[in-house]
Amino acid sequence: MVQFLRGQWKDLTDILDRYSIMYMEGLLLVPVVMFALFYPLQTMTSVGAVLLVALVAFEIFEWVHHHSHHARQRRSSSSSHYPL
């Protein structure tokens, strides 16, 4: 049974090659291009809004990551726990 499952896992990992990301992007790109053929202004504003939201989310993530608050230091007089 274990050998069968290992074979199934190996077959599954062979499907996920380095071009899988490109395939997924292509699946997202085809409907956008088809929509752009009939509604170019709406497509341009929609793609622009998505890119703007992605940029803002990325910048907020980076800002929070690099400006994280450090843990407060304990006061030694009021604390009953001492570091080892």
Is 75 contained in some domain? Answer: no
Is 3 contained in some domain? Answer: no
Q: What is the pLDDT of residues 49-78, one digit of tens each?
A: 999 999 999 999 998 888 876 555 555 555
Q: Is the pTM of this model over 0.85?
A: no
Task: Report the b/e string of 59-78 with b at 16+ CB within 10 A.
Answer: eeeeeeeeeeeeeeeeeeee
What is the 8-class DSSP label of residue 81? -
Is 36 contained in some domain? Answer: yes
Nearby residues of 32 by Cβ (< 8 Å), 6 or more positions away:
43, 47
Is 83 contained in some domain? Answer: no
Residue pair 24/15 in contact (Cβ under 8 Å)? The answer is: no
Is 2 contained in some domain? Answer: no
Total domains in the fold of the chain: 1
Helical spans, DSSP H, in the chain: 2-15, 20-38, 40-66
Q: What is the pLDDT of residues 3-49, one digit of tens each?
A: 777 776 666 665 666 677 677 778 888 889 999 999 999 999 999 99
What range defines the domain where residue 49 resides? 9-65
Residue type, 22: M
pLDDT at res. 3: 76
Is 78 contained in some domain? Answer: no
Is 59 contained in some domain? Answer: yes
Is 37 contained in some domain? Answer: yes
